[in-house]
Structure 1
Amino acid sequence: MNVSRANLADFVYFLAIARHQSFSRAGQEVGISASALSHAIKGLETRIGVRLLNRTTRSVTLTDAGERLHQVISTPMKEIDDAMEILNKFRDEPTGRIRLNLLSDAADLLLGPVLPIFNERYPEIQIDLTVTNLIVDVIGGGHDAGIRYGGTVPEDMITQRLSPDIRWVVAGTPEYLKRFGIPEHPNDLHNHRCLRIRLGNGAMYDWEFEKGTEKLSIAAPGTITIDETRVGLSLVRNGAGLMYAPEPAMQALVDRGEVVTVLDDWASIAPGFHMYFSSHRQLPTGLRLLIDLIREVQPLGA
């Protein structure tokens, strides 16, 4: 069988399906509907006379032939992508698409101030954001890079620091503190209503504190558990309890007097935001330009 232009396009679709094991998610990556994607793959299977995918109502998996095809074409298709990125560097107006998987905190604090400028400066570059606090295989999911706090970045990735370290604070409304008292020591939190934090891996997060050489982790008590900062900010400003959060996320409420920080002398410093990506692929031009702009704008300071 000759390698036609149609087959090359279908190979791109096939690799996206292999990454996501889902027609809908693969369709989002390549920019066509799930039904059109399914039709294209059926056409490829008909032309080559081999079934590549096992389809059920709940899953999509590769057949033995599909596994073999995936092994053979993955590397050359990646090399074609790399070649296009090399050519992109010679364009007056960079083009392409960046797919990022990032925390909601990073979306609000880091990209919120930067992307409007990026869009004005590079209007031909498309940006596709997946905002989630779940711990996922970012690269395996078809993303170019992920953005997480430095301490949670996978060890086998190349990382680029995007912000300074971040101070974490505890805050509550003046009315709440008047009713329940002001904690003077982290252990006093056991007598308070706290907004508990669930991490992306499902584990409960112990609030961390440090003062000089002393460090404490407190299993904060409370009846409300959150896994995302924005909902926590809404809850804390309405008096639901005390919240533990990145200081930049809390700062607007503090400035307006809606909440007051406590235990300031115990506030801990944690690694800031880092972008990470695979060492096995060339850095897309758009991603490099985004990193440069974040460092230029410095939305969280130098």
Structure 2
Amino acid sequence: MKDAHQSRNGDLLAFSVFLAVAAHRNFRAASVELNVTRSAVSHAVKSLEQRLGIRLFNRTTRSVSLTEAGERLAAKLRPALSSITEALQEVDALRETPSGTVRINASDAALRLILRPLLGGFLRDHPLIHLDIVTDGRLGDIVAEGFDAGIRLAEAVPQDMIAVPLLDAVRFAAVASPGYLAARGRPAVPQDLYQHDCIRFRFESGSIYRWEFERHGVAETINVAGRLTLTDMFLMVDAAIDGIGIAFVPDFLATEALADGRVERVLEDWCPSFPGVCLYYPGRRHVSPGLRALIEAIRGRRK
């Protein structure tokens, strides 16, 4: 009986490893998610394949893909292991002290604005919670990638998720340094941006963000030009401070630079507001005590 019990525990671990590799299509990424070595992941998958007597992955030096058997096994295991995880989380909810790992996927801006100010106090107040935060510019599938929750603009939250508002409407700002504006002039309407150096933003998908303006119900979308393209909006503000050009960013990223005069607003009456920032998680998933504690900490800081 003892050997059978150990075998079942081993299978659960192996199945978890298998699903992590299946989600990422990458052994290294799975090892990072599971916080184990790559060799441990490889060994677990190899042992599972040997026990089942069938190959689950096609491996080359450049790619990892599921075989037909692997696809079928993954499809059956995902809901089963999800149910087991939910059952364990419900039991864990009976603890007086929240514990466990909470995995969050967030944009870099959300991390710096919302999470960074409370991390020290939160971890001090909850010594049994481990936060695993991944900053990611793309809007991934938090369920498939093993996250408990994500943080994004409200308009980007998938409809089948439960959204918890963290910030009210976010307004964008076009900003530039006083020196740049003295040399190049101030744009009066969005179309004037075609005559300026603009600091462009590239999404992780590779596409370039087109600047969106609106005034009195009239919308303008400008495909700006410029010699500098970045994937980090904080660096865009820094570039604007350095006089490289005009940046278009959520205004909370430029609060300090606006306050001390290192940058100034332009086209202010054209800059729109967007729905605020939300934390979101699957509606069918039980909310762990650790995630609930984090939500309460974020809400408490807003008061």
Query: What TM-score do the two structures reach when normalised by structure 1?
Result: 0.92
1:78-97 superposed matches below 5 A: 78-97=82-101
**Alignment-mate amino acid for residue 95 of structure 2:** R
1:135-146 superposed matches below 5 A: 135-146=139-150
Structure 1 residue 244: deviation in Å? Answer: 0.7
Task: Work out whether 1:210 is the aligned partner of 2:214.
Answer: yes
Who is 1:16 aligned against?
20
Who is 1:291 aligned against?
295
Decide which of 44, 58, 63 is 2:62's aligned counterpart: 58
Asked if 1 retains the 8 angstrom alpha-carbon contact of 2:93 and 2:288, the reply is no
C-alpha distance in structure 1 between counterparts of 2:142 and 2:199, whole Å? 28
Decide which of 263, 280, 302 is 2:267's aligned counterpart: 263
C-alpha distance in structure 1 between counterparts of 2:225 and 2:51, whole Å? 61
Structure 1 residue 13: deviation in Å? Answer: 1.1
Instruction: Decide which moves more: 106-115 or 284-293.
Output: 284-293
C-alpha distance in structure 1 between counterparts of 2:166 and 2:267, whole Å? 28
Task: Work out whether 1:43 is the aligned partner of 2:47.
Answer: yes
Identity %: 36
Who is 1:177 aligned against?
181
Asked if 2 retains the 8 angstrom alpha-carbon contact of 1:20 and 1:142, the reply is no
How far does the alpha carbon of each residue in 1:216-265 deviate from its partner, in whole angstroms, 9 at most, with x for none? Answer: 22222212122221221221111100111111100111122211112222
C-alpha distance in structure 1 between counterparts of 2:50 and 2:106, whole Å? 39
C-alpha distance in structure 2 between counterparts of 1:219 and 1:137, whole Å? 28
User: Following TM superposition, where does structure 1 have runs of at least 4 consecutive aligned residues deviating by more than 4 angstroms?
Assistant: none
**Alignment-mate amino acid for residue 288 of structure 1:** R
**Alignment-mate amino acid for residue 276 of structure 1:** Y
How far does the alpha carbon of each residue in 1:121-163 deviate from its partner, in whole angstroms, 9 at most, with x for none? Answer: 2121111121121233332222222211122222333222211
Task: Work out whether 1:31 is the aligned partner of 2:17.
Answer: no
**Alignment-mate amino acid for residue 17 of structure 1:** V
1:139-288 superposed matches below 5 A: 139-288=143-292
Structure 1 residue 21: deviation in Å? Answer: 1.5
Structure 1 residue 195: deviation in Å? Answer: 0.8
1:105-124 superposed matches below 5 A: 105-124=109-128
SS at match of 1:50: coil
C-alpha distance in structure 2 between counterparts of 1:157 and 1:280, whole Å? 9
C-alpha distance in structure 2 between counterparts of 1:45 and 1:124, whole Å? 35
**Alignment-mate amino acid for residue 99 of structure 2:** T
Asked if 2 retains the 8 angstrom alpha-carbon contact of 1:198 and 1:226, the reply is yes
**Alignment-mate amino acid for residue 99 of structure 1:** R
Query: What TM-score do the two structures reach when normalised by structure 2?
Result: 0.91
Superposed CA RMSD in Å reads 2.0
**Alignment-mate amino acid for residue 142 of structure 2:** V
1:118-133 superposed matches below 5 A: 118-133=122-137
**Alignment-mate amino acid for residue 165 of structure 2:** R
C-alpha distance in structure 1 between counterparts of 2:186 and 2:237, whole Å? 19
Unaligned runs of 5+ in 1: none
How far does the alpha carbon of each residue in 1:98-143 deviate from its partner, in whole angstroms, 9 at most, with x for none? Answer: 1122111111111111222221221211111211212333322222
